[in-house]
Structure 1
Amino acid sequence: MRLLVNPSSVSPKLADLGLLIARVVLGVVLIAHGWQKFNEWTVAGTAESFAGMGVPLASATAAVATWVELIGGAMLVVGLLTPLAALCAAVVMLGAAVFVHLPNGLFVDQGGAELVLALFAGLVLLVVRGGGRASLDAALSRGSVRQPVAAG
């Protein structure tokens, strides 16, 4: 079977659009979940819930998950330190999968791992590809490139 689109032939603009969409959507989802932990459940309430689910070091884990989701999600939306923010969030999602969701199967309506695994997969792509040209990372790196001074 022949691929309809050869990944190496995708235009850079289209690839950057895909990275932008992935960054913003993943970031918004992370922010929503972090805000829920911070505002609705509170970090202490989240820690209590984590402890009940058998998550190790529940208080520390709840704080880390909350702040990685809130701050890391915002960093993804704007594309700031994208690989680092995505890596931190991917580790949180992997932990959620291993410690909470995988024992419940795949489907999210049964407490399964499908959401955290989908988020994990998208985050891994951002770790390896970065935020693309429509990101603060790219803008900052363009601004730091110095032109050689002509001898004269």
Structure 2
Amino acid sequence: MATNVTYGHSTDRAEGTDSAVDVGLLVLRVFFGGLMFMHGTQKLFGWFHGVGWHPTTVSFDKLGYHPGKFFGTLAGLCETTGGSLLLLGLLTPLGAAVAIGTMINAANVTWHHGLMASESALMIAAVAFTLAIAGPGRFSLDHGRPWERRGVLWGAAALTLGVVAAVITLAFKWR
């Protein structure tokens, strides 16, 4: 068994499984990070058959996020930035925190329709949390860099930061 201890984390993997895990993490990051990036650019620019910035801001006003221009822009920027960071495997715990906070707000919007209406947002938040714990893998911009972080503590930090950001956003929505 290979054991690697760096930056406060360790990995114990059987020989030959490293590549499979790294490819799996790459697929997970690219798929979910890409989806978030696409949603953000739909809101901001109308890319990928999105409605664009102005209709997004009007929609956010109708959802009770006042002012809609601020919160619609914030949501688009968070989805684009968090998705990009996860997709690239760059500053992964930060990207995960952004994704978690954004998806908590997305789940809040649909929660009154039941759990299944919030399913996509909750899945993306769970994947982001998982990536913060597991790390982005070898095929990432974080890999081998001094700032590379992963592990249970970094996952907990990403979750905490995401929840705090979501609560602050929702507090402004509810006032």
- Residues 110-143 of structure 1, C-alpha deviation per residue, up to 9 Å, x if partnerless? xx1111111111111112222111110014349x
The structure number with the bigger radius of gyration is 1
Partner of 1:14: 20
Partner of 1:84: 94
Partner of 1:136: 141
**Does residue 1:51 correspond to 2:61, yes or no?**
yes
Answer with 117-126 or 44-53: which moved more. 44-53
Partner of 1:103: 112
The whole-number CA distance in structure 2 between the counterparts of 1:76 and 1:57 is 28
* RMSD of equivalent CA atoms: 2.1
**Does residue 1:116 correspond to 2:126, yes or no?**
no
Answer with 70-79 or 119-128: which moved more. 70-79
Which one-letter code corresponds to 2:110 in the other structure?
H
How far did residue 21 of structure 1 move?
1.1
The whole-number CA distance in structure 2 between the counterparts of 1:57 and 1:18 is 40
Tell me how many residue pairs correspond in the alignment: 130
Which one-letter code corresponds to 1:101 in the other structure?
T
Unaligned segments of structure 2, at least 5 residues: 1-11, 148-175
- Residues 10-58 of structure 1, C-alpha deviation per residue, up to 9 Å, x if partnerless? 7333222221111100111011111110122233321210121123553
The structure with the largest helix share of the pair is 1
TM (normalized to structure 2)?
0.66
The structure with the largest strand share of the pair is 2
Check conservation: 1:83, 1:131, Cα contact below 8 A.
Answer: no
**Does residue 1:23 correspond to 2:23, yes or no?**
no
Q: Secondary structure at the match of 1:136?
A: coil
The whole-number CA distance in structure 2 between the counterparts of 1:121 and 1:92 is 12
**Does residue 1:69 correspond to 2:79, yes or no?**
yes
**Does residue 1:39 correspond to 2:45, yes or no?**
yes
Check conservation: 1:27, 1:76, Cα contact below 8 A.
Answer: yes
TM (normalized to structure 1)?
0.75
Unaligned segments of structure 1, at least 5 residues: 1-7, 143-152
Q: What is the percent sequence identity of the aligned residues?
A: 34
Change (3 A) 1:127 1:58: farther
The whole-number CA distance in structure 2 between the counterparts of 1:131 and 1:57 is 35
Name the structure, 1 or 2, with higher relative contact order (CA <8 Å, separation 6+). Answer: 1
The whole-number CA distance in structure 1 between the counterparts of 2:66 and 2:103 is 15
